[in-house]
Amino acid sequence: VPDSADAVLDGLDPEQRAVATTLRGPVCVLAGAGTGKTRAITHRIAYGVRSGILQAGSVLAVTFTQRAAGEMRGRLRQLGAAGVQARTFHSAALRQLQYFWPRAVGGELPALLERKGPLVAEAAARCRVRLDRAELRDVTAEVEWAKVTRTTPEDYPAAVRKAGRAAPRDPAGTSRIYAMYEQLKQERGQIDFEDVLLLTVGILQERADIAERVRSQYQHFVVDEYQDVSPLQQRLLELWLGDRDSICVVGDASQTIYSFTGATPDHLLDFRLRHPDATVVRLVRDYRSTPQVVALANGLLSQAVGRAAEHRLELVSQRPAGPEPVYREYPDEPAEAEATARRIRELIGAGVPAGRIAVLYRINAQSENYEQALADAGVACQLRGAERFFERQEIRQAGLALRGAARAGGNDRVLDGADSLAGQVRAVLSSIGWTHEPPGGSGAARDRWESLRALVRLAEDFQRARPAATLADLVAELDERAAAQHAPEVEGVTLASLHAAKGLEWDAVFLVGLTDGMLPLTHARTPEQIEEERRLLYVGITRARVHLTLSWSLARAPGGRPGRRPSRFLEGLRPSAGGTGGRAAAGGVVRGPRRAERVERGPVTCRVCGRAMTEAVELKLRRCAGCPSDLDEELYERLSHWRAGRARELGRPAFA
């Protein structure tokens, strides 16, 4: 914890400091990816609280995801500014709605509808419309869009025309299904995700007394990822703010990737029109990525068009040089996944922690090959945006078991050694089937094991920070974290869609499936939609700190017709097309190996470590399963260290 308010400013550059110390009036930060926007606003809140200018309880920080909110709370705690509300629009609104519902409406808040799909399907059936799976998804998305843009069923057809949306079905039909969906929902006394915001807006608009109460609690607002705010969220923000002006927004118009839900960067770009006295700060130093990654990101943006692109800011990397981005073409998707998993294992072998590696794709359906390939390679992975940590079955079960044990005497102070708190946790978890060693094979079992291990690690960290802590203290900590959705880090390679990767960063990023048709996705038709797809690629590229691999495959399945082409966005960027961002030294696109041919046992020696191969080997590559293959330049240096070490271990001269 920094020892003073001023110490909170250490480690910020002059522009970031300006953000952190401008605590009065509206502030708008326009800046590219990795320039420290999130960091600057976090330190701003901490500085405000530590210097006594802002009261922790009067600040509401709005982030885009629960995970980002959890990270911000953790960071604020480290900076000595606990007690600040960092939430998503949704969770902040839900809390207020729960609190004020009895007074505003009476009775209990209706139940939250977990998934829209089934109810939309039922509504369609009532309207005598048959929807296949893809149509159901599209209509559901249209209902969501209509709600976040505050469009009623009656207004929907006109709004679709006006917005130039490539509507999936006939707008009149969708409008009828939408109306029926609303009716069914009401009949059943349920509310959906968007209703939480709509109802909160409604109550704040109509009940001046409640609006006053909310405004007297929250006086200062900070919004991250403001380029993706929807009209509904914007309205809510205005209602929270009232006629005051203590608002600080940060965003990057080039990272607008949620237009399909009605988000628009106009709120960000027009901030000055609404707040003429706003302090506007621009950040251009990129602290996240190497010059190589930044060059590629800048190159991509230089091809962008449209309003967001007009406001782009050239990024300048502050990091040492790293490897060039790598481009890979594969014959089919399983081969792409397998080679990716292999390279990931090499990176892990070379010392990159699994938690700092991510595979990012355009649509969630693409993850399957990668889950499989990583499981085959014995690498743990976690799906981002999937089930939330504290809602996982094994975590709930573990919570119950730990609570039981705490009640049964874990309250006593633990006196000595390995019966440590973590030891007790391990013992309790083993009673529900957790083992010390990870289970072999399949994804699901390994996932469960990894999430329970995250609890063990949490216990270790907790005890390090509070040596006298008891099991009961740990249970209280877990409760607090669950309430705040502050999940511990689960070790494993992240698999995530580009949308879910927003705001995050990894040492090594694999952007996979980059074909025309996947990115841009086939259903992106209008120029605006194509630009949004380009921005998605920009978001993907700028997640990488050091290693960046861009890959695609020519066919879907092995033996399939190789009819695909690499993403049009890569033209002019990758070296074969004469660009500058790529791996020029290697002279063009490097083709990945075909699916490895495997044999059970080979009477051959591994050409990397020189041992006789006893495990499954890749015959063509002549290396044992534990040794890296694919000698990419970026790995080469690390590998030669690694090889020398391994050779030393084996008592033989280093492999030339």
Nearer to ligand ATP, 227 or 551 (CB): 227
Partner from ligand ATP, Mg ion, none contacting 549, C-beta within 5 to 8 A by type: none
Task: Find out whether 38 is annotated in a ligand binding site.
Answer: yes
Task: Work out how close the CB of 34 gets to ligand ATP at its nearest, in angstroms, rounded to a whole number.
Answer: 5
Residue 320's identity, in one-letter code, is P
Nearer to Mg ion, 48 or 503 (CB): 503
Strands 598-599 and 617-618: antiparallel
Nearer to Mg ion, 503 or 513 (CB): 503
333-349 vs 633-649: helix crossing angle, rounded to 10? 50
Task: Work out how close the CB of 36 gets to ligand ATP at its nearest, in angstroms, rounded to a whole number.
Answer: 3
Strands 220-223 and 247-251: parallel
Q: Report the C-alpha gap between 396 and 390 in whole angstroms.
A: 7
Partner from ligand ATP, Mg ion, none contacting 194, C-beta within 5 to 8 A by type: none
Give every CB contact of residue 487 below 8 A, 6+ residues apart in sequence.
Answer: 67, 70, 388, 389, 390, 454, 481
Nearer to Mg ion, 37 or 535 (CB): 37
Partner from Mg ion, ligand ATP, none contacting 35, C-beta within 5 to 8 A by type: ligand ATP
**Which of the ranges 86-94, 294-302, 448-456, 496-504 carries the binding residues for Mg ion, by CB under 5 A?**
496-504
Residue 366's identity, in one-letter code, is Q
**Which of the ranges 35-43, 391-399, 404-412, 645-653 carries the binding residues for Mg ion, by CB under 5 A?**
35-43
Give the count of beta carbons closer than 10 Å to the beta carbon of residue 426: 21
Residue 130 tokens read as 């048959």
Nearer to Mg ion, 175 or 497 (CB): 497
Partner from Mg ion, ligand ATP, none contacting 33, C-beta within 5 to 8 A by type: ligand ATP
Nearer to Mg ion, 250 or 374 (CB): 250
**Which of the ranges 36-44, 78-86, 337-345, 440-448 carries the binding residues for Mg ion, by CB under 5 A?**
36-44
Query: Would residue 59 be called left, alpha or beta, if left means φ above 0 and alpha means ψ between -120 and 50 degrees?
Result: beta
Can you give the binding site for ligand ATP, defined by CB under 6 A?
A: 11-13, 16, 31, 33-39, 252, 255, 287-288, 503, 505, 542
* Interior/surface letters 175-201, b for 16+ CB within 10 angstroms, e for the rest: bbbbbbbbeebeeeeebbbbbbbbbbb
Nearer to ligand ATP, 16 or 567 (CB): 16
Task: Work out how close the CB of 640 gets to Mg ion at its nearest, in angstroms, rounded to a whole number.
Answer: 36
Per CB under 5 A, the list member of 16, 21, 35, 38 interacting with Mg ion is: 38
Task: Work out how close the CB of 37 gets to Mg ion at its nearest, in angstroms, rounded to a whole number.
Answer: 5
Partner from ligand ATP, Mg ion, none contacting 36, C-beta within 5 to 8 A by type: ligand ATP
Nearer to ligand ATP, 156 or 226 (CB): 226
**Which of the ranges 37-45, 310-318, 440-448, 461-469 carries the binding residues for Mg ion, by CB under 5 A?**
37-45
Nearer to ligand ATP, 59 or 68 (CB): 68
CB of 552 within 8 A of CB of 361? no
**Which of the ranges 461-469, 495-503, 545-553, 604-612 carries the binding residues for Mg ion, by CB under 5 A?**
495-503
Partner from Mg ion, ligand ATP, none contacting 527, C-beta within 5 to 8 A by type: none
Residue 76's identity, in one-letter code, is L
Residue 503 found at the interface with Mg ion (CB under 5 A):
yes
**What 3-state DSSP class applies to 280?**
strand
37-50 vs 66-78: helix crossing angle, rounded to 10? 50
Q: Report the C-alpha gap between 448 and 124 in whole angstroms.
A: 37
Task: Find out whether 36 is annotated in a ligand binding site.
Answer: yes
Q: Report the C-alpha gap between 468 and 413 in whole angstroms.
A: 7
Q: What is the DSSP string of 489-543?
A: PPPSEEEEETGGGTT--EEEEEE---BTBBTTBTT--SHHHHHHHHHHHHHHHTT
Give the count of beta carbons closer than 10 Å to the beta carbon of residue 496: 23
Partner from ligand ATP, Mg ion, none contacting 252, C-beta within 5 to 8 A by type: ligand ATP
Residue 212 tokens read as 């006053």
Whats the size of the chain, residue-wise? 656
# residues near Mg ion by CB under 5 A: 3
Task: Find out whether 256 is annotated in a ligand binding site.
Answer: no
Task: Work out how close the CB of 530 gets to ligand ATP at its nearest, in angstroms, rounded to a whole number.
Answer: 22
The candidate with the shortest Cα–Cα distance to 221, out of 86, 91, 93, 82, is: 86
Task: Find out whether 37 is annotated in a ligand binding site.
Answer: yes
Residue 255 found at the interface with Mg ion (CB under 5 A):
no
* DSSP 8-state symbol, 354: G
Task: Work out how close the CB of 38 gets to Mg ion at its nearest, in angstroms, rounded to a whole number.
Answer: 3
Nearer to ligand ATP, 182 or 228 (CB): 228
Nearer to ligand ATP, 213 or 319 (CB): 319
Task: Work out how close the CB of 357 gets to ligand ATP at its nearest, in angstroms, rounded to a whole number.
Answer: 16
Residue whose Cβ sits closest to Mg ion: 38
Cα separations (Å) of 219 from 55, 57, 68, 83, 650? 9, 9, 21, 14, 65
Partner from Mg ion, ligand ATP, none contacting 515, C-beta within 5 to 8 A by type: none
Task: Work out how close the CB of 505 gets to Mg ion at its nearest, in angstroms, rounded to a whole number.
Answer: 9
Partner from ligand ATP, Mg ion, none contacting 520, C-beta within 5 to 8 A by type: none
Query: How would you class 216 by CB atoms within 10 Å of its CB: exposed for 0-12, middle for 13-18, buried for 19 or more?
Result: exposed
Task: Find out whether 433 is annotated in a ligand binding site.
Answer: no
Residue 338's identity, in one-letter code, is E
Beta-sheet strand order (sheet of 59-63)? 85-88, 59-63, 220-223, 247-251, 27-31, 279-283
CB of 89 within 8 A of CB of 236? yes
CB of 581 within 8 A of CB of 574? yes
* Longest alpha-carbon distance in the chain: 82
Task: Work out how close the CB of 420 gets to ligand ATP at its nearest, in angstroms, rounded to a whole number.
Answer: 32
Residue whose Cβ sits closest to ligand ATP: 36
Partner from Mg ion, ligand ATP, none contacting 144, C-beta within 5 to 8 A by type: none
Query: How would you class 283 by CB atoms within 10 Å of its CB: exposed for 0-12, middle for 13-18, buried for 19 or more?
Result: buried
Task: Find out whether 580 is annotated in a ligand binding site.
Answer: no
Beta bridge partner(s), residue 611? none
Task: Work out how close the CB of 40 gets to Mg ion at its nearest, in angstroms, rounded to a whole number.
Answer: 9
Task: Find out whether 111 is annotated in a ligand binding site.
Answer: no
Nearer to ligand ATP, 219 or 318 (CB): 318
What's the half-sphere exposure (Cβ side, CA atoms, 13 Å) at 221?
27
Task: Work out how close the CB of 288 gets to ligand ATP at its nearest, in angstroms, rounded to a whole number.
Answer: 4
Task: Work out how close the CB of 19 gets to Mg ion at its nearest, in angstroms, rounded to a whole number.
Answer: 13
Q: What residue has token string 């300006």?
A: 18
Nearer to Mg ion, 31 or 624 (CB): 31
**What 3-state DSSP class applies to 555?**
strand
Task: Work out how close the CB of 356 gets to ligand ATP at its nearest, in angstroms, rounded to a whole number.
Answer: 11
Binding residues are 31-38
Binding residues for ATP are 31-38
Residues that bind Mg ion (CB under 5 A): 37-38, 503
